[in-house]
Amino acid sequence: MSRRPIIAGNWKMHNNKAQAKELIEGILAGIKDLDADKMPEVVVAPTYTALWQVHDLIKNEPKIALSAQNVSQFAKGAYTGEISIDMLADFGVKFVIIGHSERRQMFNETDEAINEKAKAILDAGLIPIICCGETLEQREAGVTDSHIEGQITKALANLTADEVIKSVIAYEPIWAIGTGKSCDAVEANRTIGEIRKVVAKLYSQDVADKIRILYGGSVKPSTIVEQMAQPEIDGGLIGGASLEAESFVALVKGAM
Residue in 55, 82, 100, 140 annotated catalytic: 100
What angle is formed at CA 47 by the lines to CA 46 and CA 53, rounded to 5 degrees?
65
Beta bridge partners of 127: 95
Domain 6-254 is found in CATH 3.20.20.70: yes
Predicted local distance difference test score (pLDDT) of residue 249: 98
22 is a catalytic site residue: no
Q: How many CB atoms lie within 10 A of CB 26?
A: 15
pLDDT value for 182: 65
Beta strands 235-238 and 212-216 are parallel
**Residue 147 catalytic?**
no
Query: In this structure, what are the phi and psi dihedrals at residue 96, rounded to the nearest 5 degrees?
Result: -140, 125
Q: Tell me if 223 sits within 8 A of 184, measured CB to CB.
A: no
97 HSE (CA, 13 A, CB side)? 31
Q: Which amino acid is at 4?
A: R
Q: Of the listed 41, 102, 149, 172, which one is catalytic? A: 172
Can you give the length of the chain in residues? 256
CB 71 within 8 A of CB 96: yes
* Per-residue confidence in pLDDT tens, the chain, 256 aa: 589 999 999 999 999 999 999 999 999 999 999 999 999 999 999 999 999 999 999 999 999 999 999 999 999 999 999 999 999 999 999 999 999 989 998 999 999 999 999 999 999 999 999 999 998 888 889 999 999 999 999 999 999 999 999 999 999 998 877 666 668 899 999 999 999 999 999 999 999 999 999 999 888 999 999 999 999 999 999 999 999 999 999 999 999 9
Strands 95-98 and 235-238: unpaired
- In the three-class reduction of DSSP (H, G, I as helix; E, B as strand; rest coil), residue 12 is classed as coil
How far from chain centre, in Å, is Cα 218?
Answer: 14
The alpha-helical segments, DSSP class H, found in the chain are: 17-31, 51-58, 85-90, 101-107, 111-123, 136-140, 144-155, 161-166, 185-202, 205-210, 221-228, 245-254
Q: Indicate the pTM of the whole model.
A: 0.95
Q: What is the CA radius of gyration of the chain?
A: 17
Instruction: Classify residue 29 as exposed, middle or buried by CB count within 10 Å of its CB (0-12, 13-18, 19+).
Output: exposed
Question: What is the pLDDT at residue 180?
Answer: 67
- In whole angstroms, what is the distance from residue 104 CA to residue 187 CA? 23
DSSP 157: T
CA gap 213, 181 in Å, rounded: 20
Question: What pLDDT score does 218 carry?
Answer: 80
Residue 10: name the closest of 214, 147, 196, 156 by CA. Answer: 214
